[in-house]
A and B are shown apart, each in its own frame.
Chain A
Amino acid sequence: AQSVAQPEDQVNVAEGNPLTVKCTYSVSGNPYLFWYVQYPNRGLQFLLKYITGDNLVKGSYGFEAEFNKSQTSFHLKKPSALVSDSALYFCAVRDSRYSSASKIIFGSGTRLSIRP
């Protein structure tokens, strides 16, 4: 069965410091991995995805994520946090064996708070 875990409900970082939001996953086949961000009263916004290839994926707004197959992780990172990065972040996974969107699983979300 597929699953995705975001072990931290909240991450607090000072502006200008690097940030990491953690995600681990479990699938039987090869994973397709995604990060989304949700601002208050808004829908989800796509940040980046890993399908295949380079383990370091670069996305929107200076975010990047590193796929680590041995640790089954896909942590979201940014070298220098901005106050405007404060939002709710979701990791999602899909098993590459399934073509249907029905198999996408979202994590429970991590609230990122950047203090000035």
Chain B
Amino acid sequence: ETGVTQSPTHLIKTRGQQVTLRCSSQSGHNTVSWYQQALGQGPQFIFQYYREEENGRGNFPPRFSGLQFPNYSSELNVNALELDDSALYLCASSQGQGTLYEQYFGPGTRLTVT
């Protein structure tokens, strides 16, 4: 098990609602990345936060936003939920920015939008 935790484990929301997912990074890690993994697909990079600043973003609309706090924990916020947002959302922490640093993944939050 990694030291990365995510909450909640599962979540059911209605289309149009807003959701906040949370991630606590592993001790000593200052970088958090978020991924969306649709059923039967590989993870897709949403964005990364390094020392509280966004540091790279994938091909996701602005209704996907995030925060990183001084203790390096992070939130992923999704506004105006759509059915296609149903997925497993993974958080990964690392000691530095960029993928050359090994990423430690949390167990994920499974979001279902109805």
Interface, chain A (partner B; CB < 8 A): 32, 34, 36, 41-46, 49, 51, 90, 92, 94, 99-104, 106-109
Contact = CB atoms under 8 A, between A and B. Distances in A.
B87 interface: no
B42 A108 contact: yes
B45 A104 contact: yes
A51 B108 contact: no
A45 B105 contact: yes
B42 A101 contact: no
A-side interface mostly: mixed
Contacts of B48: 100-102
A42 B90 contact: no
A32 B100 CA distance: 8
B53 interface: no
B100 A51 contact: yes
Given A32-B100, A46-B103, A102-B47, 4 more contacts: A100-B55, A102-B57, A106-B43, A109-B42
A43 B55 contact: no
A107 B41 CA distance: 8
Given A32-B100, A99-B98, A43 B90 contact: yes
